[in-house]
Amino acid sequence: MTLRDKACVTGVGETTYMRGSTQTAFELQIEASLKAIADAGLDPKQIDGVIPIGIVSATAEDFIDNFGIPDLRFSALVPHGGASPVMALQCAAAAVAAGVCNHVLIAFGRNVTGAAATKAGARIHTMPQFHYVTEFEYPIGNAAPAQIYAPMAQRHMALYGTKVAHFGEVAVAHRQHALLNDNAVMKKPMTLEDHANSRMIADPFRLFDCSLESDGGAACIVSAAERAGDLKHRRVFISGTAAGHPDQPGAITQRPDMTSLGIAKAAQRAFQMAGVTHADIDVAEIYDCFTYAVIRQLEDLGFCKKGEGGPFVEGGRLRLDGALPTNTHGGLLSQAHVWGLNHIVELVHQLRGDAGRAQVKDAEVGLVTGYGDLGDGAVAIMRRD
Amino acid sequence: MTHAMNLTMPETPARPSHKITPLSAPYWEAAAQGRLLLQKCASCGKVRHYPRMLCDACYSAQTNWVQASGRGKVHSWTVCHHAFHPSFVVDLPYTLVTVDLEESVRALGRWRGAGLVIGDAVVAQFEQRSEGPELFFTASPRTE
């Protein structure tokens, strides 16, 4: 048995993305959930599976309590940071394909722009999966993702000649897409020069190489394919999905090849399951915690060879009119950071054909990735009915 | 003179504390004496770092702690220009260097020296601070 086309994403929902939200993470998560459920044409009581993303706000019990769900048959946690939403697609697809339940809600909410205590540099040391970093690296100043990830990019530059302008190309493409999206935090145009002149955070990462700290919620519904036909929208199938972890996932410092990611192990499995090739991918939503992460994943996904991710993004390839339109919503870099659940939402809109001004013409097949906790990876390939 | 300066300067907050675990206690005890220790599997001899319970080659939980030579080569680095914890503001910019130790594991330390190139030879040392030992690397003295 394979999961190919056994499940569909039938509903998607997002709150307004912003900084300085007065809503709690829980409120944002519930708001996005209700929107996704309504988008699917379901009643909240019909949700019979739930995967809360992160262990930061709502529990499965909270959804039962607030929606009055009479019979929640399935719940799971997928604790892999930014890889969690796409890994949750895999988990949900497996659950509905096996007949465990019919409609799985995957939902996330966060409010991180308020107190300093909630910023990334203070957050990760409370998380168990970062215990090596917390013990050995935080006390000497390796505190935030920008610092922890920078040596990967530095080595990639040194070994393969990846340039600042390549990172800039990624940042500019994302910003162009965000300007087409009314629900994007970043509103100002960006040039390659703006990127190169933005202040250095952790060399080689400049400010515009780093994703946003923003507030918001996002959610999607995964339904059994045979139940999805009666719902509101054209079906969007999960055709291939896979997850992978890097060797020595707990610390980039100890990783045998620090430039390689878990998604390298997952990519081929997902393409094989879906029965498509790279040339079939019309649109890609690639987890972009940093500009470099997009370049590296393009290599690990097999769109280009290792080390060629920099030249690959040259010439506007990732832009809406390029050969591989990528992060058409603006991504974590320019739309909002909700752990990449917004990437799933965007891919579904693209494949339904209702992505607004950023619509990729005739998008039939697309890909979405997740990347979290220093290198855990997940990929899903979707197609429209 | 140093004392007088401290009186007029705003107080620098302490660095984040070392969260020592039973598994890593021998590492930190040695570090406090300026020695860099690594776990070595008592069964198959594989060296591992950071400290963990099992050897991932033979699954033995029996370990010996062995002293590293301190010699290594630059694997990668980053120069930090933004402090994500207030205690590091006074250090900006500071460099973190990832080092391939001779024992086939890596260490992350502060870099005290000039520009870095992958493969450069470096040596490890500890500075004893009030918060705990700080691992740092310097350029290896040239040998003939």
Residue range(s) defining the domain that contains residue A283:
7-113+212-384
**Which pLDDT does position A1 carry in this prediction?**
84
CB-based burial, A168-192: b 16+ in 10 Å, e otherwise: bbbbbbbbbbbbbbebbbbeeebee
Ranges under pLDDT 70 in chain A: 55-56, 115-122
Q: What is the pLDDT of residues B43-100, one digit of tens each?
A: 999 999 999 999 999 999 999 999 999 999 999 999 999 999 999 999 999 999 999 9
Residue B20 has pLDDT above 50, yes or no: yes
Asked whether residue A312 is domain-assigned, the answer is yes
Looking at beta carbons, which residues of chain A come within 8 Å of B107? 253
Domain with A30 in it: what CATH number?
A: 3.40.47.10
Q: Which amino acid is at B67?
A: Q
Q: Does B19 touch chain A (CB under 8 A)?
A: yes
**Which pLDDT does position A38 carry in this prediction?**
98
**Which pLDDT does position A129 carry in this prediction?**
84
**Which pLDDT does position B1 carry in this prediction?**
40
**Which pLDDT does position A66 carry in this prediction?**
97
Looking at beta carbons, which residues of chain A come within 8 Å of B15? 139-141
**Which pLDDT does position B62 carry in this prediction?**
97
**Which pLDDT does position A126 carry in this prediction?**
80
**Which pLDDT does position A119 carry in this prediction?**
67
| Check whether domain B69-144 has CATH 2.40.50.840, yes or no | yes
**Token reading at A273:** 């399951």
Of A121, A146, A202, the CB nearest to B85: A121
DSSP structure string for A53-121? SSSSS--HHHHHHHHT-S---EE-----GGGHHHHHHHHHHHHHHTTS-SEEEEEEEE--SSSGGGSHH
Asked whether residue A343 is domain-assigned, the answer is yes
Q: Does A250 touch chain B (CB under 8 A)?
A: yes
Asked whether residue A310 is domain-assigned, the answer is yes
Q: Single out the residue of B60, B46, B50, B8 nearest to residue B27, CA to CA.
A: B50
**Which pLDDT does position B67 carry in this prediction?**
98
Asked whether residue A361 is domain-assigned, the answer is yes
Are B69 and B57 spatial neighbours (Cβ–Cβ below 8 Å)?
no
Provide the shortest C-alpha distance from residue B136 to chain A (in Å). 9
Q: Is A161 left (phi over 0), alpha (psi -120 to 50) or beta?
A: left
Count the domains in chain A: 1
**Which pLDDT does position B143 carry in this prediction?**
59
Q: What is the pTM of this model?
A: 0.96
**Which pLDDT does position A360 carry in this prediction?**
98
Provide the shortest C-alpha distance from residue B8 to chain A (in Å). 25
Asked whether residue A141 is domain-assigned, the answer is no
**Which pLDDT does position A337 carry in this prediction?**
96
Provide the shortest C-alpha distance from residue A118 to chain B (in Å). 12
Higher pLDDT, B109 or B10: B109
Q: Decide: residue A212, CB within 10 A, 0-12 exposed, 13-18 middle, 19+ buried.
A: buried
Q: Does A159 touch chain B (CB under 8 A)?
A: yes
- List, in order, residues 6 or more apart from B7 with CB less than 8 Å away: none
What are the start and end residues of each CATH 2.40.50.840 domain in chain B?
69-144
